[in-house]
Structures are given as C-alpha cells and as structure tokens.
Amino acid sequence: MPIQPVPRVLLRDQAVTVIRSAIVTGELAPGAVLKDSELAGRLGLSVAPVRTALARLADEGLVESKPQSHTRVTPLVLQQVRDAAVVVRAMHELAAGEAAAAVTPDDVGAMRAANGRFAAAVAAGDLDAALTADDELHGVLLDRCGNGAVRATIDRFTPAVRRLERQRFAAAHGRESVVAHERLITACADGDVAAAVATTTEIWTALLSELEETPDDRP
C-alpha cells in the first residue's frame, strides 16, 4: 500500500509496519536510498521514530546502513531469501505439529474459508488478497499452536521471503497451493499430525524449489 501519514499512536511501531510494507511490496525498491527526514515527511512523523523504525528493519535484514554513507533497502540476495525461507518452513512445520491434533471445528471452518478466499484471489490475479488469505489460513495453526517464539520468528523472516515471492508469484503455483491447502485442512480435521506436518513441508518445499529457479538480483 502507498506510504501515507500514520496516526500519532505507537509511532515507532506504525512506522515499522508502513515502511516494511512498502519494502515488501516493492514501493521502496531493492537498493533504494532511504533518508530518514524524507520518510518522516511522507509519514507525517518526526525523525526520531523513523530512525528507530529503520534500525528495527535493519535487524530484520530489510534495510542496511553504512556509516558515513547511506541507509538503503537491502538488495534481494537469493541465498539470504532461501535461508529465511528454510527458517520459516521449519517454524510452520513446528506449528503444524503442535496444533494439528488440537484444532477445533471452528478452526477447520476458518481454514476452509481462508482457502476459499485464497482460491478466489488467485483466480482473479489479486496477489495482495492471495497473500493475506494465505497468512490467515496458516495463522489459524499459529494461533492454535500458541508458541510466541514460533510466531515471532515467522514474523521476523517472512517479509524477506515475501519480497521475492511477490516478484515471481504465478497463477499455476497458486492453484497448486489451493490443493495443498485442502490436504492440510483435511489432515487437521482428521487430527493427523504426521500428514499435517508433511503437507506443510510440501507447501514450503515447493516455494523453495521455485526460489532455486529465480535469478539472483544482487547488484
């Protein structure tokens, strides 16, 4: 979404959210130089919360700073994206293993509804809606898992993966994901932990395989 002024509540956190979104969507392109005063003006904030936000995004690997030089959006380095994807896959596998046997009928219904939205978004070519629905579907298992460290790790590394995923998202991959989601939902409905974990592995391994075929954009 476009960068817009944010309400003066939790300024640092909201600045992080807006700038992160702009990086992930490509509004702030890989390699783009970031000037805290310019960003502050666009956000309608003072410089201090923007500087703090950029420091946090540097910790997440989305921004890099060189002393006495510049701060910029981190270029897309394929190996770094692969590394992040492996970590995210492991966390989703862990969440599926801990949650699959504990899901409720309401959880299953929420996952099916999310996959319906995902399928509709893929058919319409609506990438933003597809990724939102995908997060909602897997988020059911994250909520049921209840492991804060798992969610924090996923939140930390997913943006790096999504930057590249947005560039190479294809309808064919999306349709395959709809089918894989259905298998995951069925496994959870049946309380089949092994199948839920295996399907989660399959979903993320398919993404990693596609990353292997994506050119490295490192300058």
Assigned domain for 87 exists: yes
**Which residue range is the domain that position 142 belongs to?**
78-212
- Put simply, whether the predicted model's pTM sits higher than 0.75 gets the answer yes
The reply to whether 66 and 138 lie within a common domain is no
CATH code (residue 173):
1.20.120.530
Confidence of residue 7 (pLDDT cuts 50, 70, 90): low
Assigned domain for 218 exists: no
Work out the average pLDDT over 39-64: 91
Q: What are phi and psi of 71, to 5 degrees?
A: -115, 135
pLDDT digits 0-9 by tens, 94-109: 999 999 999 999 999 9
Number of domains in the chain: 2
Contacts of 12 (CB under 8 A, 6+ apart): 49, 52, 53, 56
What confidence score (pLDDT) does residue 1 get?
55
pLDDT digits 0-9 by tens, 110-162: 999 999 999 999 999 898 899 999 999 999 999 999 999 999 999 999 998 88
